Amino acid sequence: MANPSPLRYPGGKYKLYNFIKELVEYNNCSTYIEPFAGGSAISLALLFDNVVKKVIINDYDYSIYSFWTSILNNTDEFIKLVIETPVTIDEWHNQKSIRENIYNHDPLMVGFSTFFLNRTNRSGIVDKAGPIGGLDQNGQYKIDCRFNKDTLIEKIQKIANYREVITIKNIDAMEFIQNDILQTRNSFTFFDPPYYKKGQGLYTNFYNHGDHENLAKTINTLLSNRKWIVTYDTSSEIKQIYSKNSSIAFSLSYTLQTKKSGQEFMFFSKKLSRLENESELINIIHN
């Protein structure tokens, strides 16, 4: 299916959907969990395809959390904003000002400003990129080229229909592991942390080296008996941090202004049953 998420996300992993779908089915998991939700495209597709009965998503970024809670719990109000808000540079400045003062606004307005900037900024980067076409709108593409209101409203309405089986959290990943993942049986968790090399330039909440080390230690210690995968951009530091886990290197096309083929790592928990046909579902470079 087409990407079901209303958000554009740098480093999004939706191209892995068929691989993860088969992995979840093969391991008979009924709940799918994402500690770094972002666009949550895979979570949504698994629900829509009836692969899992429930998803639990978490994002430490309050603005992303506000978006998800708004479309689930204030659906009509959010759609009204989509319909009535002009997609212009003047409005971009207005939404940017809300973004810069998120704690002075209610979650609906914070969620909408995040959505608006995600759809109108280059590569979907909310804080660290400008509008598509530039402030003078003299670029090849204009600010509204990724803002098809009818399509976006349709996506939002469909997601809202699943509100009873979507749980959203806004806590630190370490806390989420202990409070939610450990308490959920028969689950599959996809960890997609901020990129190691370029995270600071892409995400509002990025990790330093120590954060990545602590995450790996927590996953391998507390979740040694659970089913999960972790994906990262390739680096010798990450390879060392997860040296005790089986892994593959794979290529994944992604768009950050220009299309590139990014090589990434995937690490597996010991409890997870691996697919025999991995190479048919994912472009493996080496094991």
Q: What is the mean pLDDT of residues 229-238?
A: 93
The CA distances from residue 206 to 16, 150, 178, 192, 212, in Å, are 22, 33, 21, 12, 10
- Structural domains of the chain in order of their starting residue, each with its CATH number: 1-60+171-287 (3.40.50.150), 62-165 (1.10.1020.10)
Q: What would the pLDDT profile of 96-120 be if each residue is shown by its tens digit?
A: 999 999 999 999 999 999 999 999 9
> Is residue 256 over pLDDT 50?
no
Provide the pLDDT for residue 254. Answer: 52
Pick from 286, 283, 279: nearest CA to 246: 286
pTM of the complete model: 0.92
Q: What is the mean pLDDT of residues 145-150?
A: 98
Q: Is 20 exposed, middle or buried (0-12, 13-18, 19+ CB in 10 A)?
A: buried
User: What is the DSSP secondary structure assignment for residue 131, as one 8-state letter?
Assistant: B
Q: What would the pLDDT profile of 74-83 be if each residue is shown by its tens digit?
A: 999 999 999 9
Pairing outcome for strands 284-286 and 258-268: unpaired
